[in-house]
Amino acid sequence: MNAPDRDVNEDAELVAGALAGGPEAFGPIVRRYQDAVFGVALAK
């Protein structure tokens, strides 16, 4: 399995954990994507 597939699988697991109410899953999602989300918001 290559890195992008691993990232997608890890993201899916983190999202499932966050949706199930696991607060420990939400932090890694935020840290991974906060710069990209901020950049998109800033560009609008």
pLDDT digits (tens, 9 = 90+) for 7-43: 889 999 999 999 999 889 999 999 999 999 999 999 9
pTM for the whole structure: 0.67
pLDDT of residue 3: 64
C-alpha–C-alpha distance, residues 15 and 8, integer Å: 10
By the 8 A CB rule, do 25 and 32 touch?
no
pLDDT of residue 6: 77
pLDDT confidence band for 44 (50 / 70 / 90): confident
Residue type, 17: G
By the 8 A CB rule, do 17 and 25 touch?
yes
- CA distances, 34 to each of 1, 2, 29, 43 (Å): 26, 23, 8, 14
And the tokens for 35? 């710069």
